[in-house]
Amino acid sequence: MPRMTAPLRDRRGGLIGVIAVVALLLAGCSDSGTTNAQSASSPTASATPAATATDTASPTVSASDTPSSSASSTVNALVPGFPTKVIPIMPGSTPLSTSYDATTNPAKASLIASTSATSAQILSYYSGQFTGQGFTAVSPTKVGSTDSQDFVRSNGKETVNVAVVVVDGRTTYTVGASVNPSALQ
């Protein structure tokens, strides 16, 4: 049994790393003018909502492009109203978690997915998607084992970040967007 424990621990560490990257990305997508005190007192700035009734055991990749009226998140599926026009799902990917909040300005959406594609393929795919939407690509960076690329538009008021990590041969990526709500329609 000790042999099984070590690989499991490595996978958990990798997943924790991915979760940490997601937390940083979502923090980066927040309005920099909001202080922690303002966030704590705001009814819409709460912790991630509990799992919704849309949670399923198997991934679902169909969703409406119509924005929902409130913040929501789900696992193993696209949250209802997820803005696939802004954050398209890379072909061959499996959504692990999504969140979406159209009640804020800027609106925020995030996707965590896994795929067999390489980091370079993922960054290339999303670079094409976001530059096609008028974003300007910032030079890619690498922090530890995480490849990352930012995209900006509207003089930096709208941002997207793509982060990719490979752990134990499994590629997981996160896309976080902070955009004008009108871009979702």
pLDDT digits (tens, 9 = 90+) for 107-138: 999 999 999 999 999 999 999 999 999 999 99
pLDDT of residue 79: 92
Are residues 85 and 184 in contact, defined by beta-carbon separation less than 8 angstroms?
Answer: yes
Residue 81 lies in a domain: yes
pLDDT of residue 3: 40
Q: Which residues contact 50 (CB under 8 A, 6 or more apart)?
A: none
**CA atoms 57, 117, 89, 153: torsion sign:** positive
Tell me, what amino acid is at 114?
S
**CA atoms 90, 91, 92, 93: torsion sign:** positive
pLDDT of residue 42: 32
Please write the tens of the pLDDT for every residue from 68-93. Answer: 446 688 888 899 999 999 999 999 99
Of residues 107 and 1, the one with the higher pLDDT is 107
pLDDT of residue 29: 41
Cis peptide before 49 (omega within 30 of 0): no
pLDDT of residue 125: 98
**CA atoms 93, 142, 155, 35: torsion sign:** positive
pLDDT exceeds 50 at position 103: yes
Residue 49 lies in a domain: no
Name the pTM for this structure.
0.64
Mean of pLDDT over the chain: 73
Of residues 168 and 161, the one with the higher pLDDT is 161
Q: Name the region of 92 (left: φ>0; alpha: ψ -120 to 50; beta: rest).
A: left
Residue 45 lies in a domain: no
Residue 175 lies in a domain: yes
- The number of folded domains in the chain is 1
Residue 180 lies in a domain: yes
Q: What are phi and psi of 110, to 5 degrees?
A: -145, 150
pLDDT of residue 182: 87
Residue 158 lies in a domain: yes
Token pair for 112: 């965590």
Tell me, what amino acid is at 147?
D
Please write the tens of the pLDDT for every residue from 43-53. Answer: 333 333 333 33
Please write the tens of the pLDDT for every residue from 14-43. Answer: 434 444 444 433 334 433 333 333 333 333
Residue whose pair of structure tokens reads 């978690």 in the numeric block: 97
Residue 42 lies in a domain: no
Range of the domain at 70: 2-32+57-184
C-alpha distances in Å from residue 68, one per residue of 30, 61, 71, 118, 140: 19, 17, 8, 32, 32
Residue 159 lies in a domain: yes
